[in-house]
Amino acid sequence: MKRILLIDDDHITNMLNERIIKYTQVSENVHVCISAQKALNLILDFIDKQESIPEVILLDIRMPIMDGFGFLEEFIKLPEAITSDVKIAMLTSSLEESEKERAFKYKNVVDFINKPLNEVKIREFIKKAETPTKIFFK
């Protein structure tokens, strides 16, 4: 992977997740955003500069102002030619089945990872992200 984007409103969580990703060497670059809106702005900046957007996004569900689902609603409005290969994992402490079901309604969402992130979880997600077919959980 060339780029991974972490979106979480918790600085400590972002710091730990960034370290785990760097330790596992699954990506050349890790971008961190403290809000969904900042993440959308970063993606739009990549698009404006005609740069590749992150291939992988780790997205927290529960954030103030714009939650993970709000991010997904805005993300699907971006040109599909740019976003079609992006794989998203919802990264959450929620165990609500309804949130999992809702997340998988978005075609880019391929995983639902319960916090905390660790080396095994990130490697499993990267394998799913590299698989061309979508993984569904019931």
Tens digits of per-residue pLDDT, 48-104? 999 999 999 999 999 999 999 999 999 999 999 999 999 999 998 877 899 999 999
Number of domains in the chain: 1
Q: Is residue 136 part of a domain?
A: no
Q: Is residue 137 part of a domain?
A: no
pTM of the model: 0.90
8 Å CB contact between 103 and 90: yes
Q: Is residue 135 part of a domain?
A: no
The parent domain of residue 119 ranges over 3-130
Q: Is residue 138 part of a domain?
A: no
> pLDDT: is 131 or 52 the higher one?
52
Q: Is residue 94 part of a domain?
A: yes
pLDDT of residue 36: 98
Q: Is residue 113 part of a domain?
A: yes
8 Å CB contact between 87 and 55: yes
